[in-house]
Chain A
Amino acid sequence: MFNLGGFLDLPLIWYGLIATAIFLYVLLDGFDLGVGILFPFAPSNSCRDRIMNSVAPFWDGNETWLVLGGGGLFAAFPLAYAIVMPALYMPVILMLLGLIFRGVAFEFRFKATGRSRRFWDYSFHFGSLVATFMQGMVLGAFVQGIKVQGRSFAGGAFDWLDAYSVMVGMALVFGYALLGATWLIMKTDGITQDWARKCAQYVLGYVAIFIGIVSISMPVMNADVKTLWFSIPNIFYLLPIPLATLVMFVMNWRNLHKGHEYSPFFLSIGIFLAGYLGLGISLFPWLVPFAVSFRQAAAAPESQSLLLVGTVVLLPLILGYVAYCYYIFRGKTSDEALY
């Protein structure tokens, strides 16, 4: 049967593809979840309308990357999917519930009036906040490792809950808030932009602190990670990542204060990319940390081959029309004086 496994390292390719899909999800839904986190702090209702309009055409597509991440994991690494989902049962369910409350708010909010509109405002905010916090906790639990026996999760119902995962949850809230604030600087002007700029300056410091804590704690918690990063010659190859992160923080800080409109968003993306690379390198080759590697979890080569053909054809197409949609809605979002 059809099998590309003979001349392609399919598990590695899929590991890369899934990692890319999750990263795109983190970036794209990151800014619209971040917008939701900052939402109630906006100076006026008209600002909030505008904020909502700036992400309304995109949120649905952004969330699709999560479905691709989940669906892709199921398709390419069913074993990892079958272990990770029960292990992180509660945070995943809570994340989904959060996403429901914020997702419907886009449609309901503009149809509601008075008090009920306020309700959907809060639904949007708390839904975004809960979804983000739970994603962070999932990450926090994930990097600490998952207990596995045979082909199943073998830990308890609350393994995911500890101080560290709470800390990572908070870190992600600030991280997404940074993406959201810098997105708004780019997409709005006037008082909304001024406010977004203040938010970005404020959260940038917190993001730096949290990235610092996570970067230090990873090698402290895990000896393998420590040797990976600090042994010679690895340290020389890997040093550019923390250095680049530092440079991007400094530039972002300067550009935010100088009044740049576009660069803060892209620098924030850069910071996320560096952090994500760092995590990826630390966790390689684990797909279920420290129990199942991506090779062990790989689906049959026939399955990975079939989907790979589709992905090679369709993914560039998808990226193309997603970019086209962003292009259609380019420029600043509606003026607040209209409302």
Chain B
Amino acid sequence: MIAAFDPVLLARIQFAFTVAFHITFPAFTIGLASWLAVLEWRWLSTHNAVYEEVYRMWVKIFAVTFGMGVVSGVVMSFQFGTNWSVFADRAGNVLGPLLGYEVLTAFFLEASFLGVMLFGWNRVGPKMHFAATLIVAVGTLFSAFWILSANSWMQTPQGFRVGSNGLLYPTNWIKVIFNPSFPYRFFHMVTASYLTTAFVVGGIAAYYLRHNRHVKHARIMLGMAMIMAIFVSPFQAVLGDMHGLNTLKYQPAKIAAIEGIWNTERGAALRLFGWPDQAEEKTKYAIEIPKLSSLILTHSLNGEVKGLKAWPKDDRPPSVWVFWAFRIMVGLGILMIFTGVTAAVLFFRKQLFSKPWFQRWCMVMTPAGFAAVLAGWFVTEIGRQPYVVYGVVRTAKAASPVIGSQLTMSLLAFIFTYVFIFGAGSYYIIRLIGKGPGDSEKAYGAHGMKEPPLFTDSASEKGGKHV
């Protein structure tokens, strides 16, 4: 029975599963690293111990999340070869150096200075420690730069030629790295990470406020989170719109699938909800707003929007997934903007920290960022099917010569391992949240030990200076 599954489908499911699992960690740690840097800066410049306590609580959560991100990321670096070897062979000349730069500019930086950030408290001075936090934060952004450049090139490839054996050769690196969709995708994703972190932090702060615990810390956390919700979530909507227009230019089939439009039409209606039926080639039960789709996409009421039927059947993305994932992402984005507006109103009425219903709402919104990030990636990755390098390499022809049963076994092993590890990680994070910031006993580093992991310094034993 196992062998009956299509190996390409299994390879796709496995990649989707491992990368979806992986992306939740960077989505959180990119934002968290930058926020930790801000917290440490506030602490060093104001000497307000509350900032320090908030930092020390969140750095532990950062460590657990980062650890899971690292181990699931190592898997990704091998998946291109194990599951997509034909793709690796054909696109390696172009993508290899980009991933190589990610390792060289980001991974070593993050991994090395994370050690200082977690365990270096009494080994380096406060300035050096702050520098380590800052370096880790910058490292996460470098990493996002390269991996999103590589991903964007697969979406909107340029600056290459096709050589013998179907191999792709770079002809212009600047064009490869700064391909058309890259700037939009980069800013959209980094902003998404910041918002993901903000809503997690805000939700947990709201939980503390509701239970009247760690009130001083919670006010700082909720305040900073809501600054992000107020200013950044509307900005994200603008970025998303720009990204969408870029997609319309380079991947119109993806837009047609997002919109659920089958026939090319002028003055296309916006289908708010509905069920795109691939077999019947129409969107059933659609709730429409006339002309709005044309207005959004072409900025004109009667602009032309291409429908999915403009492409042959096997060049169309699976429309149901794209259609619904997009609506989930946008819906969550609207809720985030709404949260920001509400927070602003409550702030001016001096009720931001006191309204129980708003605290409950923020708690509900805690996982909103994760869900929106995943939904967004589903839109962009399923929407570019059936290609792995858009318009150049088909997904179906990119897989490894690995037999289905092997793929099934490894897929099951990954699912089991990830669910288990993720469960344990979440449990420990929830326990850290339960414990909260500002324990009277100082918890050191990531390991929550009562005492700092005393590294008896040989220099200090001999009466020398202790770093």
Determine the distance from Cα of A74 to Cα of B316 in the docked complex, in whole angstroms. Answer: 30
Partner of B100, one of A75, A96, A101: A75
Residue numbers in B under 8 Å from A89 (CB-CB): 82, 400, 402, 406, 410
User: What is the CB-to-nearest-CB distance from B71 to chain A, in angstroms, rounded to a whole number?
Assistant: 4
Nearest-CB residue, chain A, relative to B85: A82
Judge whether B279 is part of the interface by a CB distance below 8 angstroms: no
Q: Report A-chain residues with C-beta under 8 Å of the C-beta of B459.
A: 331
> Which among A58, A112, A152 is the interface contact of B86 at CB below 8 angstroms?
A152
Q: Please report which residues of chain A, range 110-144, place their CB below 8 angstroms from some CB of chain B when the two chains form the complex.
A: 110-112
A161 and B118 alpha carbons, distance in the complex (Å): 41
**In the complex where A74-B92, A81-B88, A108-B425 touch, is A318 in contact with B111 (Cβ < 8 A)?**
no
The answer to whether B71 and A58 have CB atoms under 8 Å apart is no
Q: Are A332 and B105 in contact (CB under 8 A)?
A: no
Residues of A with C-beta under 8 A to B431 = 111
Please tell me if the beta carbons of B173 and A71 are within 8 angstroms of each other in the complex. no
- The verdict on A259 contacting chain B, using a C-beta distance below 8 Å, is no
Please tell me if the beta carbons of B103 and A328 are within 8 angstroms of each other in the complex. no
B235 an interface residue at 8 Å Cβ cutoff?
no
Tell me the residues in window 30-79 of chain A with beta carbons closer than 8 Å to chain B beta carbons: 53, 56-58, 60-61, 63-64, 66-68, 70-72, 74-76, 78-79
Determine if A74 and B99 form an interchain contact, defined as CB atoms under 8 angstroms apart: yes
- Given A53, A74, A111, A151, which contacts B64 in the complex, CB threshold below 8 Å? A111
Q: Which residues of B contact A163 (CB under 8 A)?
A: none
Q: What is the size category of the interface that chain A forms with chain B?
A: 35 or more
Given contacts A152-B401, A303-B94, A329-B455, contact A70 B78 (CB under 8 A): yes
Tell me, yes or no, whether B93 is within 8 Å of chain A by CB.
yes
CB-CB under 8 A for A81 and B400, given A63-B111, A303-B170: no
Q: By the criterion CB–CB under 8 Å, are B112 and A75 in contact?
A: no
Within 8 A of A (CB), among B438-452: 446-449, 451
Q: Does A300 contact B (CB under 8 A)?
A: yes
Contact (Cβ within 8 A) B100 A99: no
Q: Does B75 contact A (CB under 8 A)?
A: yes
B-contacting residues, A294-317, CB 8 Å: 299-300, 302-303, 306-307, 310-311, 314-315
In the complex, whether B354 has a CB less than 8 A from a CB of chain A is no
**Contacts A99-B71, A103-B70, A329-B455; is A110 near B85 (CB within 8 Å)?**
no
Complex alpha-carbon distance, A108 and B113, angstroms: 20
Complex contact A85–B100 (CB within 8 A)? no
Are B424 and A108 in touch, CB under 8 angstroms?
Answer: yes
| Bound: A96/B72 CA distance, A | 9
CB of B74 closer than 8 Å to a CB of A? yes
Contacts A86-B85, A331-B457 hold; do A72 and B100 have CB atoms under 8 A apart? yes
B428 to chain A: which residues have CB within 8 Å? 107-108, 111-112
Taking CB as reference atom, which chain A residue is nearest B18?
A96
Q: Is A203 an interface residue (CB 8 A)?
A: no
Residue A325 lies at the interface, judged by CB distance under 8 Å to chain B: yes
Q: Once the chains bind, are A111 and B447 in contact (CB under 8 Å)?
A: yes
Q: Which of chain A's residues has its CB closest to B96's CB?
A: A75
Whole-angstrom CA separation of A74 from B90 in the bound complex: 11
Judge whether B173 and A2 touch: CB under 8 Å. Answer: yes
Task: Indicate if A322 sits at the interface (CB-CB under 8 A).
Answer: yes
Q: Which one of B108, B171, B459 has the greatest number of beta carbons of chain A within 10 Å?
A: B108
Chain B residues, CB < 8 A from A334:
453-456
- Smallest CB–CB gap between A336 and chain B, Å? 11
A310 interface neighbour in B101, B410, B417, Cβ under 8 Å: B101
**Does B241 belong to the interface (CB within 8 Å)?**
no
Contact B173 A306, beta carbon cutoff 8 Å: yes
Partner of A299, one of B93, B410, B458: B93
- Chain A contacts for B421, CB-based, 8 A: 100-101, 104
CA distance A53 to B453 in the complex (A): 7
Residue interface mask A74-98, B partner, CB < 8 A = 1:
1110110111111001101100110
> Are B82 and A332 in contact, with the CB atoms below 8 A?
no
Q: Are A310 and B456 in contact (CB under 8 A)?
A: no
Task: Please tell me if A159 contacts chain B, counting CB pairs below 8 Å.
Answer: no
Taking a contact as CB atoms under 8 Å apart, the answer to whether B97 and A64 are in contact is no
Min distance, Cβ A173 to any Cβ of chain B, angstroms: 20
Q: What string of 1s and 0s marks CB contacts (under 8 Å) between B395-424 and chain A?
A: 000001111011000100110010001001
When chains A and B are docked, how far (Å) is the Cα of A76 from the Cα of B100?
9
| Contact of A284 with B by CB under 8 A | no
- C-alpha spacing A78/B98, complex, angstroms: 13
Q: A99-B74, A100-B421, A108-B428 in contact; A82/B112 too (CB < 8 A)?
A: no
Shortest distance in angstroms between A193's beta carbon and chain B's nearest beta carbon?
13
Contacts of A66 in B (CB 8 A): 74
Q: B98's closest neighbor in chain A, by CB? A: A75
Question: How far, in Å, is B55 (CB) from chain A's closest CB?
Answer: 18
Q: Which chain A positions have C-beta within 8 A of B446?
A: 107, 110
Interface status of B127 (Cβ within 8 A of chain A): no
B97, B403, B405, B417 interface centre (most CB from chain A within 10 Å): B97
The answer to whether B425 and A100 touch across the interface, beta carbons within 8 angstroms, is: no
Q: A335 to B111, alpha carbons, bound, how many Å?
A: 25
Residues from chain A with Cβ under 8 Å of B173 in the complex: 1-2, 302, 306
Contact assessment for B88 and A74 in the assembled complex, using a CB-CB cutoff below 8 Å: yes
Contacts of B99 in A (CB 8 A): 71, 74-75
Q: Of A63, A100, A101, A307, which one neighbours B97 at CB under 8 angstroms?
A: A307
Contact between chains at B64 and A307 (CB < 8 Å): no
B120 within 8 A of A: yes
In the complex, whether A153 has a CB less than 8 A from a CB of chain B is: yes
Partner of B171, one of A1, A67, A78: A1
Complex formed: what's the CA distance from A131 to B203 in Å? 38
Known contacts A57-B116, A75-B92, A110-B448; is-contact A93 B108 (Cβ 8 Å): no
In the complex formed, the residue of A with least CB distance to B401 is A152
Are the CB atoms of B103 and A64 closer together than 8 Å? yes
A56, A85, A92, A154 — most chain B CB neighbours (10 Å): A85
Residues of chain A at the chain B interface (Cβ within 8 Å):
1-2, 53, 56-58, 60-61, 63-64, 66-68, 70-72, 74-76, 78-79, 81-86, 89-90, 92-93, 96-97, 99-101, 103-104, 106-108, 110-112, 151-154, 157, 299-300, 302-303, 306-307, 310-311, 314-315, 318, 321-322, 325, 328-335, 338
Can you identify 17 A-B contacts, CB atoms within 8 angstroms? Answer: A1-B173, A58-B115, A71-B77, A71-B96, A75-B97, A76-B100, A85-B81, A86-B402, A107-B428, A299-B93, A299-B96, A303-B92, A306-B173, A310-B105, A314-B105, A331-B455, A331-B456
- Given contact pairs A57-B115, A153-B401, enumerate 13 new A-B contacts (beta carbons under 8 Å): A58-B115, A60-B114, A63-B111, A64-B107, A82-B81, A89-B400, A100-B417, A103-B67, A104-B425, A107-B67, A110-B446, A110-B447, A328-B467
The 6 closest A-B pairs by CB, nearest first: A78-B92, A85-B81, A75-B96, A57-B115, A110-B447, A82-B89
